[in-house]
Amino acid sequence: MTQAALVNPTILTWSRERAGLSTEQVAKKLPVKPESVKKWEAGEAKPTFLQAQKWANVAHIPFGFLFLPKPPAEELPLPDLRTVRGIAPEQPSLNLLDTVKDAIRKQDWYLEYLQDQQREELPFVGRFTPQSPVKAVVADMRATLGVNPDAARLDYDKYSRALIKAAEDVGVLVMRSGIALGNTHRKLEVDEFRGFAISNAYAPVVFINSADVPTARLFTLMHELAHIWIGSSGVSDGNTAAGREEERFCNAVAGEFLAPEDLFRAAWNAQIDWEDNLAPLSTRFHLSKLAIGRRALDLRYITQHQYSAYYRRVLKDFQDKEGGMGDYYRNATAKNSARLSRAVLNEALSGRLLLRDAGLILGVQPAKLRTLANKLTE
């Protein structure tokens, strides 16, 4: 007779709900009848050890958790700067928790790697505070990153790529993904967060939720970089009206960096409908029309309701048109940052790091690491 696993029914229910799964979904994945799942959660029956192991895998928890007397307390390992109607959300999702923890794990590896390289602290990290003049922070970011869209005649896409590369070149790990842990079934929700920053004097990290509209990600990038410049870590949702002090400050820095207030006000035409301003200002500032709308909101040319309605239209169009997951290697580089990817691959291909371990760090199959390395040098 197969031995039953003496799991805690309360943990079964907690782990299922934590993973956002219904009893029917869990039953289908195990596979068992939904009635069996309900009996286990009610304490009327017990799963076998094999079924319990499958449950843990489906619910994305360690197997040992199923035997705990009560659910473990879980908190974001970063300050939670998000707001929903002016109130901080009660509980982060499993996908957000795992994404933040994964970024910290990669940062920890990179910090150990840097110790062997005898690198120095990055001078721009924490150079300012939320009380610093916005224009002073922007001027320093421009000087450090060295990207001038006017001089280089960059369009929006090239401007975005240039800023990401510039941030990586000065030492910031820029990570971008729309799914948790490389699992296409675990999509990150834009309504929950837009990005986060992990400030560190040697290896700062910014993460951008690429489930968001592509044209909104540039603002998120600059917002999170502003966090690094004031030495602040946290998870952001991009809220304008009800954000905390440092969130409002980082929004102001991002807006001023992308579209300086004086130039924007001079270019804005109040005699026409606000949406008719978007296209000409988009060309003028090398930004998307959505980014122009965001700046118009910050400078009070339009209301939060007008911007939110416009953003939702753009987001819906993006989600309706979104197709496959794109190029595997490009996605792998984006989710890990090019800088971290190169460091891991250099260690692996030189024999100082096992290919298996390199694959675990990057979330890439070991057999594909050499191809990834070749792609990075192209």
Give 242-304 as a DSSP string.
S--HHHHHHHHHHHHHHS-HHHHHHH--TTS-GGGGHHHHHHHHT--HHHHHHHHHHTTSS-H
In a domain, 254, yes or no: yes
Q: Tell me the pTM.
A: 0.88
In a domain, 4, yes or no: no
In this structure, the answer to whether residues 315 and 342 fall within a common structural domain is no
In a domain, 47, yes or no: yes
In this structure, the answer to whether residues 149 and 261 fall within a common structural domain is yes
> What is the chain's mean pLDDT, rounded?
91
In this structure, the answer to whether residues 293 and 146 fall within a common structural domain is yes
pLDDT confidence bin for 166, thresholds 50/70/90:
very high
In this structure, the answer to whether residues 280 and 159 fall within a common structural domain is yes
**363: pLDDT strictly greater than 60:** yes
- Percent of all residues in the chain with a pLDDT value above 90, rounded to a whole number: 74
In this structure, the answer to whether residues 140 and 18 fall within a common structural domain is no
Residue 352 has which token pair? 């100082």
Q: Which domain holds residue 348?
A: 328-377
The structural domain count of the chain equals 3
Candidate from 21-25, 133-137, 343-347 with smallest mean pLDDT: 21-25
Q: Which long-range contacts (CB under 8 A, 24 or more apart) does 24-32 make?
A: 26/55, 26/58, 26/59, 29/54, 29/58, 30/54, 30/55, 30/58
In this structure, the answer to whether residues 57 and 101 fall within a common structural domain is no
pLDDT digits (tens, 9 = 90+) for 281-328: 999 998 999 999 999 999 999 999 999 999 999 988 888 876 555 788
CATH number of the domain to which 36 belongs: 1.10.260.40
In this structure, the answer to whether residues 288 and 372 fall within a common structural domain is no
**371: pLDDT strictly greater than 90:** yes
pLDDT, residue 183, reads 86
In a domain, 81, yes or no: no
**19: pLDDT strictly greater than 60:** yes
pLDDT, residue 342, reads 96
In this structure, the answer to whether residues 346 and 239 fall within a common structural domain is no
Residues 6+ apart with CB under 8 A from 313: none
In a domain, 192, yes or no: yes
In this structure, the answer to whether residues 342 and 246 fall within a common structural domain is no
In this structure, the answer to whether residues 62 and 118 fall within a common structural domain is no
In this structure, the answer to whether residues 107 and 130 fall within a common structural domain is yes
In a domain, 269, yes or no: yes
pLDDT confidence bin for 145, thresholds 50/70/90:
very high
In a domain, 163, yes or no: yes
**Mean pLDDT in residue range 257-263:** 96
In this structure, the answer to whether residues 228 and 181 fall within a common structural domain is yes
pLDDT digits (tens, 9 = 90+) for 98-133: 999 999 999 999 999 998 887 889 999 999 999 999
